[in-house]
Structure 1
Amino acid sequence: MPKTPIPLPQVRTVGLMQPMTWLVLAWRDMARSGWISFAHGLAITAFGGAILAVAHHRFWLLAGALSGFLVVAPVLATSLYALSRALEQRQEANLGVVLKTWLNWQNSHFNKWGNDYWCMVQFGALLALAATGWVITSAAFITLLAPMPVETPMDFMRHVVLANNGWLFELWLALGSLLAAPIFASSVIAMPLLLDRRASLRVAVLTSWQVVVANPLPMAFWAALILGFTLLGLGSLLLGLIFVMPMLGHASWHAYRDLVDASSLPLRDAAVATGQRSGVLS
């Protein structure tokens, strides 16, 4: 007999300005989490500084690394979601929560051969593949259409961004937006859902798409805020990322909680506790 498809969680609609509430709640979580929240931003800033040091004269390596970071950011922020969840449940948001998130995630999967076991790994791999595809596409686009060779960031500014004639920069932005839109729609609440509930990758991605379809204007505003704050962080010699990245990570958890009623799916941690008490592994 064919398996009965698992119903998707119920999706809620929110007002246009609701993303601003998520940011306010994110700052509250950052204040309550303390140093552990800002340590995420500091680690990302240090990583970005290392990229700049190595690739500042290799434009496509630099662009690829930064673009790839933006695409896989929902996965990198997983422990920030966990910190916000701990605060929501009136638990301590400390280093233990972070370590449990990254080191003990497999304990929530009893069937190590099942598709659900690899859902977070699969999602990260798909996002990395999408980032690689964008870098290759972008490089080919600029190489073919730029009037002069583009090898450094200054070349890109001079011959693409500040070019007097043509629409190359506008076309490049339009191409990037076209490719980024489905990635955003697939990931906007997928990782928080995978962290919180025993859901498959398919359920998480389809639910994320439902959220965007049901809330097109708020999600467009949220995407603009994410892009704007990220560019602000990058444009401040990366120092702004110390505050921007934890803020966006915590806010994404509150976006998930506002937009999705996942009560129809079992809690991931609850499933672990039940399995340990029963002593039965499927």
Structure 2
Amino acid sequence: MKTAAEQAGAVRLRVQPLSRPGVWLRAGWQDFRHCPGPGLLHGALAWLFGFVLLQGAADRFWLLAGAFTGFLLVAPIVATALYAVSRALQQGRSVGWRLVVESWRPNHPNLMAFGLLLGLAGTGWVLTSAALITAWAPAPVNSPMDFVRLVVLAQDGWLFEAWLLLGAVLAAPVFASSVLTIPLLLDRRIGLWAAVLVSWRCVVDLPVLMALWAACLMGLTALAMAPALLGLPVLLPILAHASWHAYQDLVDASAVPQRT
């Protein structure tokens, strides 16, 4: 049985120009146009989750922060069905609701294990963030407005800057571990740690391109969430489809058996 390093070594990476994120986003938009139903369903469920969360935890900042962080980290797992839609469209196969339902079934232990790891990473970030803010904020932070007033708009100190730096330090390895892992696991018969190694190789070998792609994902997600989360039903599926095309563009996994 091959080790994770040996499996990852069978996967080759393709160097792409810095303009490729625009190509991936356009391809994601085309997939959404060709098959809007699954994307709208995922986006609507994401909006509903966010709306209920805002209503129920508006005055519980750490619950709100934890739930949103967990959602953003686990969202790529939830969007597995949209990767499957893009894969089927690329292969010229018909796309129906059966494909979506089958993608949601818990029959892929590697994807389930990776989703659990992402959830644990989100929990770790919230606990670390809460410890930093609790230790250094001039007063207790119990609501989003407290956070804005006491941390973001604080006239002196370095707490907000430290919070942003901590977030970047913790988010970078999570992004490197996940940016290509999920579509690779969906597409090929490869082990979890081998897929993570491929994702890390891509970030290390193409740091500027992947940093640009991360900025696009974060910026568009923030844009979708800004007006009462109203952009989620459209932008979330476009980003999911675009992530599939990023994987296809960057990874040559032809030496690894394909999943049916």
1:56 Cα deviation from its structure 2 partner: 0.6
Which residue identity is paired with 2:202? V
Which residue identity is paired with 2:103? T
Match of 1:277 in 2: none
**1:42 and 1:242 in contact (8 A); partners too:** yes
Cα distance between partner residues in 1 of 2:40 and 2:96: 12
- Helix, strand or coil at the partner of 1:268: coil
Provide Cα deviations, 1:90-117, integer angstroms capped at 9, x if missing partner.
11222111011112x63xxxxxxxxxx6
Match of 1:196 in 2: 187
Does the alignment pair 1:122 with 2:113? yes
Cα distance between partner residues in 1 of 2:169 and 2:95: 37
- Helix, strand or coil at the partner of 2:216: helix
Does the alignment pair 1:239 with 2:230? yes
Runs of 4+ more than 6 Å apart: none
Does the alignment pair 1:148 with 2:139? yes
Which residue identity is paired with 2:141? V
- Helix, strand or coil at the partner of 1:148: coil
Provide Cα deviations, 1:34-82, integer angstroms capped at 9, x if missing partner.
2222111111111111111111110000011111111112111101100
**1:84 and 1:93 in contact (8 A); partners too:** no
1:8 Cα deviation from its structure 2 partner: 3.6
Cα distance between partner residues in 1 of 2:56 and 2:190: 39
Does the alignment pair 1:157 with 2:148? yes
Does the alignment pair 1:252 with 2:243? yes
1:1-282 paired onto structure 2 within 5 Å: 5-6=6-7, 7-103=9-105, 106=107, 118-269=109-260
Which shows bigger deviation, 80-89 or 91-100? 91-100
- Helix, strand or coil at the partner of 1:245: helix
Provide Cα deviations, 1:116-144, integer angstroms capped at 9, x if missing partner.
x6211110111010000001001111000
Gap runs ≥5 in structure 2: none
Cα distance between partner residues in 1 of 2:21 and 2:164: 24
**1:11 and 1:211 in contact (8 A); partners too:** yes
Which residue identity is paired with 1:246? P
Q: 1:144 to 1:28 in 2, by over 3 A?
A: same
Provide Cα deviations, 1:147-186, integer angstroms capped at 9, x if missing partner.
1110000000000001111121111011000000000000
Gap runs ≥5 in structure 1: 107-116, 270-282
Cα distance between partner residues in 1 of 2:78 and 2:183: 11
- Could you say what the CA RMSD is over the residues aligned between the two structures, in angstroms? 1.3
1:3 Cα deviation from its structure 2 partner: 5.3
**1:150 and 1:159 in contact (8 A); partners too:** yes
- Helix, strand or coil at the partner of 2:162: helix
Which residue identity is paired with 1:146? A
User: Highest Rg: 1 or 2?
Assistant: 1
Q: Name the % identity.
A: 52
**1:8 and 1:207 in contact (8 A); partners too:** no
Cα distance between partner residues in 1 of 2:2 and 2:119: 31
TM-score, length basis structure 1 = 0.88
**2:39 and 2:233 in contact (8 A); partners too:** no
1:198 Cα deviation from its structure 2 partner: 0.5
Which residue identity is paired with 2:17? G
Equivalences, count: 257
Provide Cα deviations, 1:226-252, integer angstroms capped at 9, x if missing partner.
111111111110111111110110000
Cα distance between partner residues in 2 of 1:190 and 1:8: 15
Cα distance between partner residues in 1 of 2:94 and 2:207: 35
TM-score, length basis structure 2 = 0.96
